[in-house]
């Protein structure tokens, strides 16, 4: 085991990675002579306003068909709004479009295959999983980062100075529990991996951002969250977890983790050994909001509460958000980004840049996602306008206004809610070491 872990660690130290949800090192900009045709257009587009990009898009794509692909189906909702925006500038403008949402992580294979063409089918993409984006898409030259000028300015920087991918939004997945039984509470993140607990969770092999969440727990910042929460447990509960923590101290050392790494590995092991794998967050939400789901909990995307249909036995009032409860200790869930890219062989690069700028620089452009809880625009101006429009903090984005549907916002979740935020750089650095260690864990199988 020790030899294997040391080999994995040595390999991982050789890995490099780029930007992410708030951190990274921007890829080295190639010399002008080495830029692809699309990269040359992007370089020019990064100096232009949305209005200027719109004029270029109208000239380039009038009467054509725009193909997009993404992990989110909402691109299909955003494109008609973008077309209406362009038509407000030129009433004769017409654009047909198709938006695809590949399942089971096939988006990387689809983009890779399309990237082999001289001129691709897809003009742009909205994609998640910073780890695979870096290794499979950016370093291989399939996707190019475009930073809209006015987006950069809203974030207090410039397109040249900004380091990282372009995030459309940050989404959160949070711990929620059925509260029909008032005696069943979760006041510490270690309660979710206690004896006999089996949380509902999308399997880490089917949604890789869930695996990135586990990687991130080993980063010093988040391992410390777990250690601090552990210290707040009653002595009898600590006694249950302590043997696992102690048994993993050597693994943590061999994996090159910090002083609290053993607490992270212990939580990860207990979680993987106990969670009930579910195919999608929708069914998790539908289970938890039913009055019959007594004593059940899940880790799921916050926005799913929007789709709850209230009945005599089903209600958002049947669930609580763990991190919102007074005295709750430890992590409240995790966060990851949806990133926007132009394909390096885009057939409509100007239109792709204009569409990306529209989604990241206007409330209307972000509205396809902004109606939901738990999705936060990367543009502070758009984020403020979205809140003013949809009143998430008042619980008005759901049919029932209650504590569960009152979104406390990005800043609260990252700080007070102690979200574990995906960092592609860190994920890539431990994907082989910690990732291989996780692969060796025994997954829970319901009897």
Residue 135 has pLDDT above 90, yes or no: no
**Looking at residue 16, what is its pLDDT?**
32
Residue 14 has pLDDT above 90, yes or no: no
Look over the chain and give the mean of its residue pLDDT values, rounded to a whole number.
92
Q: Considering only 33-42, 141-150, 173-182, which range has the smallest mean pLDDT?
A: 33-42
Confidence of residue 309 (pLDDT cuts 50, 70, 90): very high
Residue 165 has pLDDT above 80, yes or no: yes
**Looking at residue 396, what is its pLDDT?**
82
CA-wise closest residue to 334 among 240, 196, 445, 219: 219
Residue 2 has pLDDT above 80, yes or no: no
pTM of the model: 0.89
- Give me the phi and psi of 257, to 5 degrees please: -85, 165
Confidence of residue 22 (pLDDT cuts 50, 70, 90): very low
Domains along the chain? 2-169+337-394 (3.40.190.10), 170-335+403-439 (3.40.190.10)
**Looking at residue 21, what is its pLDDT?**
61
């Amino acid at each position: 085991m020790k030899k294997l872990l040391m080999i994995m660690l040595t390999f991982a130290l050789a890995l490099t990675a780029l930007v992410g949800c708030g951190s990274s090192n921007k890829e080295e900009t190639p010399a002008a002579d080495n830029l692809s045709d699309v990269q040359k257009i992007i370089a020019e587009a990064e100096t232009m306003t949305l209005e200027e990009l719109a004029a270029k898009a109208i000239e380039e794509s009038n009467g054509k068909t725009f193909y997009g692909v993404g992990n989110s189906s909402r691109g299909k909702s955003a494109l008609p709004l973008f077309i209406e925006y362009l038509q407000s500038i030129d009433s004769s403008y017409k654009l047909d479009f198709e938006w695809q949402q590949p399942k089971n992580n096939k988006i990387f294979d689809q983009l890779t295959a399309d990237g082999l063409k001289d001129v691709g089918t897809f003009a742009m993409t909205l994609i998640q999983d910073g780890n695979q984006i870096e290794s499979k898409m950016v370093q291989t030259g399939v996707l190019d980062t475009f930073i809209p000028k006015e987006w950069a300015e809203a974030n207090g920087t410039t397109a040249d100075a900004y380091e990282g991918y372009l995030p459309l939004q940050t989404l959160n997945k949070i711990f929620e529990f059925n509260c029909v039984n008032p005696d069943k509470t979760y006041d510490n993140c270690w309660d979710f991996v206690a004896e006999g607990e089996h949380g509902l969770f999308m399997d880490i092999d089917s949604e890789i951002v869930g695996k990135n969440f586990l990687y991130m727990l080993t980063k010093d910042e988040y391992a410390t969250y777990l250690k601090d929460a552990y210290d707040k447990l009653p002595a009898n509960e600590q006694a249950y977890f302590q043997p696992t923590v102690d048994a993993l101290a050597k693994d943590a050392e061999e994996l090159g983790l910090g002083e609290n790494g053993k607490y992270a590995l212990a939580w990860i092991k207990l979680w993987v050994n106990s969670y009930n794998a579910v195919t999608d967050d929708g069914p998790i939400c539908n289970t938890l909001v039913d009055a019959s789901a007594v004593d059940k909990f899940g880790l799921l995307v916050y926005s799913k509460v929007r789709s709850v249909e209230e009945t005599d036995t089903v209600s958002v009032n049947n669930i609580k958000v763990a991190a919102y409860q007074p005295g709750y200790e430890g992590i409240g869930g995790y966060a990851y980004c949806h990133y926007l890219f132009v394909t390096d062989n885009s057939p409509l690069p100007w239109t792709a840049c204009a569409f990306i700028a529209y989604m990241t620089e206007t409330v209307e452009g972000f509205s396809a996602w902004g109606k939901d809880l738990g999705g936060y625009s990367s543009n502070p101006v758009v984020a403020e306008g979205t809140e003013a429009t949809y009143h998430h903090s008042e619980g008005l984005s759901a049919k029932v206004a209650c504590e569960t549907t009152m979104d406390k916002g990005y800043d609260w979740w990252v700080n007070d809610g102690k979200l574990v935020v995906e960092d592609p750089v860190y994920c890539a650095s431990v994907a082989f070491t910690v990732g291989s260690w996780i692969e060796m864990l025994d997954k829970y199988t319901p009897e």
